[in-house]
Amino acid sequence: MTKIVGATALGLAILPAIVAAVRQNPSQQPPTFRTSTEIVLIDTQVVAKDGTPIQGLKADQFEVFIDGRRRPVVSAEFSRATESSSDVGRRAIRPESPQARNGRIIVLAIDQASFPSSARASAREAATRVVDRVAPEDYLGLIAFPGSIEIAPTRDRSPVREALESVSGLRVEALSSRFNLSAADAVVLKSRESVTTKEIIGRECKDRLDPVCPQQVMQEGGAIADILEQQAILAVAGIDGVLDAMTPLPGRKTLMLISAGLPMSNRSGGRLALDAETTRIGRRAAAANVNLYVLYMNIHFLRYFSPEYGKKNSSIFDDISLFGYGLEKFADSGGGGFFQVEVDSDPFVDRALRETSAAYVLAVRAEPEDHDGKDHFIRVAVKQKGATIRYRRIVTIPR
């Protein structure tokens, strides 16, 4: 087996069957956006309200904008998962091996650092739902980060099921104290937003005669924010490692990330503003031909009202938004979907698998000035009532 080692020491072996197919026809490994002197190819998913791919759309039903300027759509070709998008326009040289052209490549990634040990069962259950529902012809791999759980994409589900038994919850809990500070409170205190900071301090110190109470509240908020920042850094590094491992895999791939949250804030002055990381991950996903789907396991609501938590949370919905906002941004930049799971993950897993079962490849005419080797922001629209469209937001067009 070939071993792929990423920057964060996460490896993912490539199946010999896939490698053989690639060696047989190296052209089966296109980047997400393949270019000539005039044409850029863009993968786009167009689905109905239930996630079922919509067929039969024509080129004139799509609109594509590069850096806000409209570009002509030359063609729109529908491609199912059993027919790699890399085969579009190359049907005469498709490999003979059925393993080279049947089934999706799906990698299941679990952010262990986002789950406390008490909630690891929810991570395992959601992952098991994915294993149960992928089609027999699909290749399924598994990476749990941080850690050493790595299963190469395979049609054999038994090693994936076995590895899931070792998935843990590694989230570092906030420091114990006498205050009732939530994650959202901590971000506010770290950013020193004057009005809200005064409200939090007033709430926590109103029944205390200690003159240093305000200072203690600020210190505790800063400590919690530091822990959240470390969690965010671990999550981003983990996603980077998974993309490192998936990049050499041929054709179009799907990354399904299971996470209890990635702390991210858009408050100025805070240290959880990850907009630059969101853009970078989107760029990497595009270059690796990866669609990023996220199952956000909302464990926070029930956990905050459990006896074990032992605190009163005054901003529970702010916390839920804080942990989900970053994941939603990553999913959007990666051209996939974001699903918030409260109890049952089945409907969301089913929808993600339906959505990734087919896509359109749009051939878009580019202008000479687009070929500058820089990042360009794209927008795709479709003239189809009730349709949801998914695509990656960034394209790098070579010189």
Rounded mean pLDDT, 53-63: 96
Strands 375-382 and 394-396: antiparallel
Q: Which two tokens stand for residue 188?
A: 């506010």
Rounded mean pLDDT, 63-75: 94
pTM: 0.80
DSSP state of 110: E
- pLDDT of residue 314 exceeding 80: no
- pLDDT of residue 101 exceeding 60: no
Residue that has been written with the tokens 């983990």 in this structure: 238
Rounded mean pLDDT, 36-58: 89
> What is the percent of the chain with per-residue pLDDT over 70, rounded to a whole number?
79
Q: Which two tokens stand for residue 356?
A: 């990734």
Question: Quick one: which H or E segment has residue 357?
Answer: none
User: pLDDT band at residue 14, thresholds of 50, 70 and 90?
Assistant: very low
Write phi, then psi, for 44 (nearest 5 degrees). -140, 130
Q: What is the pLDDT of residue 177?
A: 67
Biggest distance spanned by C-alpha atoms of the chain: 81
Count of H helices and E strands in the chain? 10, 14
Q: What is the pLDDT of residue 380?
A: 96
Choice among 201-215, 305-319, 383-397 with the minimum mean pLDDT? 305-319
Burial-class residue 321 by CB neighbours within 10 Å (0-12, 13-18, 19+). Answer: middle
Q: What is the pLDDT of residue 28?
A: 39
**Could you tell me which residues are beta bridge partners of residue 388?**
47
Q: What is the DSSP string of 151-204?
A: EEEES--HHHHHHHTT----PPPPPP-SS---HHHHHHHHHT-HHHHHHHHHHH
- pLDDT of residue 25 exceeding 60: no
Q: What is the pLDDT of residue 303?
A: 65
215-272: pLDDT as tens digits: 999 999 988 888 888 888 889 999 999 999 999 998 889 999 999 998 887 665 555 6
Q: What is the pLDDT of residue 7?
A: 31
Rounded mean pLDDT, 23-46: 60
368-397: pLDDT as tens digits: 888 888 888 899 999 999 999 999 888 878
CA distance 191 to 270: 4
User: pLDDT band at residue 209, thresholds of 50, 70 and 90?
Assistant: confident
Of 200, 236, 232, 237, give the one whose Cα is nearest residue 218: 200
Of 343, 213, 232, give the one whose Cα is nearest residue 278: 232
Indicate the average pLDDT of the chain: 81
Rounded mean pLDDT, 175-182: 75
Q: What is the pLDDT of residue 24?
A: 42
Q: What is the pLDDT of residue 271?
A: 59
Q: What is the pLDDT of residue 312?
A: 62
Domains of the chain with CATH codes: 16-30+105-171+225-356 (3.40.50.410)
Choice among 82-91, 108-117, 249-258, 347-356 with the minimum mean pLDDT? 82-91
With contact defined as beta carbons under 8 Å apart, do 117 and 169 qualify? yes
CA distance 62 to 47: 14
Residue that has been written with the tokens 């085969």 in this structure: 87
User: pLDDT band at residue 343, thresholds of 50, 70 and 90?
Assistant: confident
